[in-house]
């Protein structure tokens, strides 16, 4: 199929200003997101949260887009906003939008990370292209995490999330702004080449990280925060966790060490947005996957 309609989305999290201001920039200067073979629309997903400079008002908008949640009349600001976005861009399962690019930033030191929710031929080719264009970027997949995905971008069958960090919440960093724009440009170039059936030869295999679990922050006996990410783990996203390596430190100075198997990697290390769930970091497995030579 041809990708005819692309949606570029920022402000899914209201305090991630990079996406918000890139979207506003492209709304006034659409030439950056314009390509001959498809139409691009730019939108702010949660304007009320942007105005409040908060990630969300009631609940995380980027967890509201499972078919299950979209079909229930949940009475939160974000659930109702999700139903509205699903009407506008979707409906999920039969969406009017062929591809959604959702822009995010993280407080973790993750550089430019792409997140896909599917590992089909299209997405693997897109990721292989991105790895060619941006060798230091990291490809991650939530494909194995859940069947009925809850990301906004999952409204359309083709979707990718751009996650750039470290960026504190509520401010802009020029390096992250430029890196996010560069990443989006490469995605749009891929779509254009794909539509024109003019993709170059792509690498035969692709390295990607699959999310599979999270690690919680330490708690005290009352359930309050009892510690933090260990200083030796801070900023070391996408490095393998070594057996016995300190990962958390309690306020009394004692350490918690990694007791899991080898071959496991950490990301979203000390992500500020995950303190509401008292999460310390996400766990990933690194795999090499074959990239299909054609989409047939
Ligand atoms: Zn975000």
| Model confidence pLDDT, tens digit, residues 97-116 | 999 999 999 999 999 999 99
The DSSP element (H or E) to which 215 belongs, if any, is: strand 205-216
Nearest to 35 by CA among 179, 188, 155: 188
pLDDT band at 146 (very low <50, low <70, confident <90, very high): confident
For residue 131, the CA-to-ligand 1 centroid distance in Å is 22
For residue 68, the CA-to-ligand 1 centroid distance in Å is 22
Structural domains in the chain, sorted by start: 5-207 (3.40.630.10)
34-86 per-position pLDDT tens digit? 999 999 999 999 999 999 999 999 999 999 999 999 999 999 999 999 999 99
For 49, other C-beta atoms within 10 Å of its C-beta total 26
Compute the distance between CA of residue 294 and CA of residue 48 in angstroms, rounded to an integer: 43
Compute the distance between CA of residue 212 and CA of residue 260 in angstroms, rounded to an integer: 13
For 191, other C-beta atoms within 10 Å of its C-beta total 23
Compute the distance between CA of residue 50 and CA of residue 55 in angstroms, rounded to an integer: 8
The DSSP element (H or E) to which 282 belongs, if any, is: strand 279-290
DSSP character string of 33-69: G-BTTBEEEEEES-HHHHHHTSS-SSS-GGG--SHHH
- When pLDDT is averaged across residues 244-262 and rounded to a whole number, the result is 96
For residue 268, the CA-to-ligand 1 centroid distance in Å is 11
Compute the distance between CA of residue 230 and CA of residue 100 in angstroms, rounded to an integer: 36
Burial status of residue 252 (CB atoms within 10 A of its CB: 0-12, 13-18, 19 or more): exposed
For residue 236, the CA-to-ligand 1 centroid distance in Å is 20
User: Can you tell me which residue has the tokens 């989006």?
Assistant: 184
Are the C-beta atoms of residues 49 and 61 closer than 8 Å to each other? yes
Compute the distance between CA of residue 18 and CA of residue 23 in angstroms, rounded to an integer: 9
For residue 154, the CA-to-ligand 1 centroid distance in Å is 15
Q: What is the pLDDT of residue 296?
A: 53
Mean pLDDT value across the chain: 96
- When pLDDT is averaged across residues 138-164 and rounded to a whole number, the result is 94
16-45 per-position pLDDT tens digit? 999 999 999 999 999 999 999 999 999 999
Q: Half-sphere exposure of 62 toward its Cβ, with a 13 Å CA cutoff?
A: 18
Give the C-alpha distances (Å, rounded to integers) separating 186 from 52, 127, 192, 210, 221: 32, 10, 10, 22, 49
pTM of the model: 0.97
For residue 273, the CA-to-ligand 1 centroid distance in Å is 8
For residue 13, the CA-to-ligand 1 centroid distance in Å is 5
For residue 295, the CA-to-ligand 1 centroid distance in Å is 30
For residue 23, the CA-to-ligand 1 centroid distance in Å is 14
Nearest to 13 by CA among 153, 112, 173, 116: 153
For residue 16, the CA-to-ligand 1 centroid distance in Å is 6
- When pLDDT is averaged across residues 160-176 and rounded to a whole number, the result is 98
pLDDT above 90 covers what percent of the chain? Answer: 96
Q: What is the pLDDT of residue 143?
A: 83
For residue 200, the CA-to-ligand 1 centroid distance in Å is 32
Nearest to 101 by CA among 56, 150, 151: 151
178-206 per-position pLDDT tens digit? 999 999 999 999 999 999 999 999 999 99
Asked if residue 278 has pLDDT above 70, the reply is yes
Q: What is the pLDDT of residue 295?
A: 65
255-275 per-position pLDDT tens digit? 999 999 999 999 999 999 999
For residue 111, the CA-to-ligand 1 centroid distance in Å is 14
Alpha helices in the chain (DSSP H): 17-28, 47-52, 67-70, 77-89, 121-133, 174-195
For residue 105, the CA-to-ligand 1 centroid distance in Å is 6
Are the C-beta atoms of residues 279 and 217 closer than 8 Å to each other? yes
Is 152 in a helix, a strand, or coil? helix
At CA 143, angle to CA 139 and CA 144, rounded to 5? 120
Nearest to 159 by CA among 62, 233, 84: 62
- When pLDDT is averaged across residues 123-138 and rounded to a whole number, the result is 98
């Amino acid at each position: 199929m041809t990708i005819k309609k692309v949606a570029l989305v920022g402000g899914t999290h209201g305090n991630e200003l990079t996406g918000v201001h890139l979207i506003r920039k492209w709304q006034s200067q659409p030439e950056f997101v314009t390509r001959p073979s498809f139409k691009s629309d730019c939108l702010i997903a949660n304007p009320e949260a942007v105005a409040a400079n908060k990630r969300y008002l009631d609940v995380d908008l980027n967890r509201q887009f499972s078919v299950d949640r979209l079909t229930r009349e949940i009475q939160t600001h974000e659930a109702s906003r999700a139903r509205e976005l699903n009407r506008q861009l979707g409906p999920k399962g039969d969406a009017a939008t062929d591809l959604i690019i959702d822009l995010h930033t993280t407080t973790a030191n993750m550089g430019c990370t792409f997140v896909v929710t599917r590992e089909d031929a299209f997405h693997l080719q897109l990721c292989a292209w991105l790895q060619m264009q941006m060798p230091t970027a990291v490809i991650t997949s939530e494909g194995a995490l859940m069947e009925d995905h809850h990301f906004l971008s999952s409204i359309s069958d083709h979707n990718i999330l751009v996650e750039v960090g470290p960026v504190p919440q509520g401010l802009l960093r020029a390096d992250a702004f430029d890196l996010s724009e560069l990443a989006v440009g490469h995605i749009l170039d891929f779509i254009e080449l794909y539509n024109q059936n003019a993709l170059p030869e792509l690498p035969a295999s692709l390295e990607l990280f699959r999310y599979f679990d999270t690690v919680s922050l330490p708690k005290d006996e009352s359930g309050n925060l009892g510690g933090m990410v260990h200083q030796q783990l801070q900023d070391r996203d996408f490095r393998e966790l070594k057996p016995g390596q300190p990962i958390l430190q309690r306020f009394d100075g004692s350490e918690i060490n990694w007791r899991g198997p080898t071959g496991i990697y950490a990301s979203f290390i000390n992500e500020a947005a995950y303190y509401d769930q008292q999460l310390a970091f996400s766990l990933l497995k690194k795999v090499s996957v074959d990239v299909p030579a054609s989409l047939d």
